[in-house]
A and B are shown apart, each in its own frame.
Chain A
Amino acid sequence: QSVLTQPPSVSGAPGQRVTISCTGNTSDIGAIYDVHWYQQLPGTAPKLLIYGDINRPSGVPDRFSGSRSGTSASLAISGLQTEDEADYYCQSYDTSLSPRVLFGGGTRLTVL
């Protein structure tokens, strides 16, 4: 069971906007740690999509955006394209005990 909670699946039609939520608690997202997002296309390794809540690495389209409020974060994808169909994972960090990387359970995005 993941520490960070994501919906198992979301879907949308091409051109639409979808959001994926990620909920943590006061020791991770709600503390001093930001949320980072990864995209995993079918059969490939994950790729960094958003870091530090809102920042996009070079090469990531601005259709992808992140936000955070309190112990929750969201990834928004606008202008959905068929190639966006993938699994998306949120990630945070926790040093309350031993430092550890935390992942959400992942959300499967289906483009209808």
Chain B
Amino acid sequence: EVQLVESGGGLVQPGGSLRLSCAASGFRFSSFWMGWVRQAPGKGLEWVSNIKEDGSERYFVDSVRGRCAISRDNAKNSLDMQMNSLRAEDTAVYYCVRVRKWRLYDRYLDLWGRGTLVTVPT
């Protein structure tokens, strides 16, 4: 079955760290860009980060750049995101996503995990 399964969420104090993981199965993981999208409680979707097939390119939303790192292990079909200096505004469900290339420069997200909740109290 083609799927993404996230883990690693939880309650963390402001300033703390957390490592999210995503296990991919059912497709050739190493052939796809991957990423993370988050959704704060009752709010809309916010893209967080993307990583290229071989890990050579990484991009982040401005609000997490410098505090988060994205990595992948193609041998283990896994995607990770290390989150540091966490703030209350980082509270959200974090979805692992598969990124599809469209035309020359475009991207869309064709596979989503069920998400993992990160809670940072005020």
What is the interface of chain A, defined by CB distance below 8 A to chain B?
2, 32-34, 36, 38, 40, 44-48, 51-52, 57, 87, 89, 91, 93, 95, 98-106
Contacts of B95 in A (CB 8 A): 45-46
Stretch from B24-32, B74-82, B84-92, B103-111 contacting the other chain = B103-111
Sampled A-B contacts (11; CB under 8 Å): A32-B104, A40-B45, A46-B109, A51-B108, A57-B110, A98-B59, A99-B59, A99-B107, A101-B35, A101-B47, A106-B45
Which residue of A52, A57, A103 contacts B45 across the interface (Cβ within 8 Å)? A103
Q: Which 8 A-B pairs have the closest CB atoms?
A: A101-B47, A36-B108, A106-B44, A45-B112, A103-B45, A51-B108, A48-B110, A105-B44
Give the docked Cα–Cα distance between A98 and B105 (Å): 12
Contacts of A105 in B (CB 8 A): 44
Distance in Å from the Cβ of B111 to the closest Cβ of chain A? Answer: 8
Contacts of A91 in B (CB 8 A): 45, 108-109
**Nearest chain-B residue to A55 (Cβ)?**
B102
**Nearest chain-A residue to B65 (Cβ)?**
A98
Distance in Å from the Cβ of A59 to the closest Cβ of chain B? Answer: 12
Q: With A32-B103, A52-B102 in contact, do A100 and B47 touch (Cβ < 8 Å)?
A: yes
Give the docked Cα–Cα distance between A3 and B85 (Å): 26
A89 touches B45 (CB 8 A): yes
B106 touches A93 (CB 8 A): yes
Give the docked Cα–Cα distance between A98 and B46 (Å): 16
B55 interface contact, C-beta 8 A: no
A99 touches B50 (CB 8 A): yes
B44 touches A93 (CB 8 A): no
Distance in Å from the Cβ of B7 to the closest Cβ of chain A? Answer: 15
A38 touches B109 (CB 8 A): yes
Give the docked Cα–Cα distance between A40 and B45 (Å): 10
B50 touches A103 (CB 8 A): no
A93 touches B112 (CB 8 A): no
Contacts of A38 in B (CB 8 A): 45, 109
Contacts of B37 in A (CB 8 A): 46, 101
Distance in Å from the Cβ of A89 to the closest Cβ of chain B? Answer: 5
